[in-house]
Amino acid sequence: MSAPQVGVPPFAVISGAQVQRALRGREKQIVGLVEATYRLHGAGESVNPPSYFLRFPDRPSARIIALPASIGGPIRVDGMKWISSFPDNVAAGIPRASAVLILNDHDTGYPFACLESSIISATRTAASAALGADMLTRGRARPTRVGFIGTGLIARYIHTFLAATGWSFDEIGVHDMSAASAAGFRGHLEQSGAAGRIMVHDSAEELIRSSDLVVFATVAGRPHVGDVSWFDHNPVVLHVSLRDLAPEIVLASTNIVDDVEHCLKADTSPHLAEQLAGNRDFLHGTLDDVMAGRVTVPTGRPVVFSPFGLGVLDLAVGKYVYDEVTRCGELQVIDHFFHDLRRYG
């Protein structure tokens, strides 16, 4: 047998504008892709080590996270997302998060693409939230009142994904500690023709009590919602920002995560709940467990989905974008990016 042909792949750079073009209007497809990726991850066809958090003593609210990962199956790509979160950016009028995604070739390890990745990250997060909303409401009455706590970019993407995957609501609740953010999100909902009455709530309590689907997308670093009775009506909670709920609320709910080891870290609310309870019995399973029927979600309790956010999802969506840009003939290759390739010059 002859040796397999391997060569240095061309290196491409994909801009945010290209990423957005490749993903726009494909929400259902992306939710399907995220679902397939969760299944591959659940079946062990991935390598997804813990994210690495780079923090700075002189800028305590900021961080940059590295998410290395490898995904097998039909996607078959390695890589890493490198994503900054600088919350003070928002006051300066630029987005909090910025990111790049590097894709590495399966056979040679060579990086073959660098993609703008804040859109990919928001997209895979919103797709995972929409998938969670669908899977976790199957055994109960479909929510008609959604409420968003924290109304920045991620909330906007999640609303877009819910709407594009068939959700319509009688009421959309909005709450943000910044009145300007709440007004901005409201304006976006009105402009995008979102179905449903839009209600801006002054308190998280009011919003939670009047929503049967609650989305947390704040930048809270520690729990700010602590009263279990606010959840007496057993809502489905998409706890995307991970640190909003007091551990008592987590312990009083059915808890579904994307990956157990990932989610019980970095002072997330489930991590705090583990410390309070001294065990992990409050975790009922992963979304993949629910999709595969290994876990059923009871109706008589709140259900909290806490997706830590897996690097494999970024890879899957990033590879989708790469293939799409290639298919359209728009791949911008950087000539001679890898240079000095002869062993002895």
Ligand X SMILES: NC(=O)c1ccc[n+]([C@@H]2O[C@H](COP(=O)([O-])OP(=O)(O)OC[C@H]3O[C@@H](n4cnc5c(N)ncnc54)[C@H](O)[C@@H]3O)[C@@H](O)[C@H]2O)c1
Residue number with CB closer to ligand X (30 or 149): 149
Residues in CB range of 142: below 8 A, 6 or more apart: none
Residue number with CB closer to ligand X (17 or 179): 179
Min CB(98)–ligand X separation in Å: 10
Task: Classify each residue of 14-25 as buried b or exposed e, where b means 16 or more C-beta atoms within 10 Å of its C-beta.
Answer: beeebbeebbee
- Phi and psi angles of residue 285, each rounded to the nearest 5 degrees, phi first: 155, -170
Q: How many CA atoms lie within 13 A of 253 on its CB side?
A: 32
Min CB(86)–ligand X separation in Å: 10
Residue nearest to ligand X (CB): 152
Binding site for ligand X (CB under 6 A): 85, 87, 90, 96-97, 121, 125, 149-155, 175-178, 181, 217-220, 224, 240-242, 307-309
Min CB(196)–ligand X separation in Å: 20
Min CB(310)–ligand X separation in Å: 8
Min CB(3)–ligand X separation in Å: 41
Angle value at C-alpha 306, between 300 and 310, nearest 5 degrees: 145
CA nearest to 83, candidates 68, 98, 73, 93: 98
Residue number with CB closer to ligand X (202 or 323): 202
Residue number with CB closer to ligand X (177 or 291): 177
Write the single-letter amino acid at 190.
E
Residue number with CB closer to ligand X (181 or 255): 181
Min CB(2)–ligand X separation in Å: 44
Residue number with CB closer to ligand X (240 or 297): 240
Residues in CB range of 245: below 8 A, 6 or more apart: 216, 223, 225, 237, 239, 269, 304
CA nearest to 242, candidates 20, 53, 36, 24: 53
